[in-house]
Amino acid sequence: MRKTWLPWLILSPSLLFLLLFTWFPLGRSVYDSLFDTRMASDGAQYVGLDNFARLFADNVFWQSLGNNLLYILLTVVPGVTLALLLAVAVAVCCSAGGVWLAFYLDSAPAPTIVVLFTALFVVAFVASTIRDSRKQKTSATISGGG
């Protein structure tokens, strides 16, 4: 007998996260788009597809959609194309290295990331320390000078 439950068991954590953080918010957004919700009102009024009709009739929507498509065309497409060309160039020029080259290229950014996060931690720590010392000086001045 085949064990068909094992792949599903292995995939279940990923499927759970996919459901919780992708499909549920997507479904909730579609559901919420069918209602007219105002910040000042207590409830939501069902309007069906009227929100979409207003959206497609709005010139600002079409302008922003065009801006986003232009941004994608000018940034994502050249970025992916350049990355693929560089990958092909590395594969052609350095094919002798094989697995060892892949290990190097995959691990090369790791020290940089560690240094950046360490620097970020130091900056946050120093800023927090300065902020706390200022608060202590202010509270000492207020309580002592009263």
pLDDT in tens, 78-135: 999 998 998 888 777 766 566 666 666 666 677 777 888 888 888 988 988 888 888 8
To the question of pTM greater than 0.75 for the whole model, the response is no
Q: What is the DSSP letter of 43?
A: S
Alpha-carbon distance of 137 to 132, in angstroms, equals: 9
Question: What are the tokens at 57?
Answer: 């009739």
Q: What is the DSSP letter of 40?
A: S
Let me know how long the chain is. 146
Alpha-carbon distance of 138 to 131, in angstroms, equals: 11
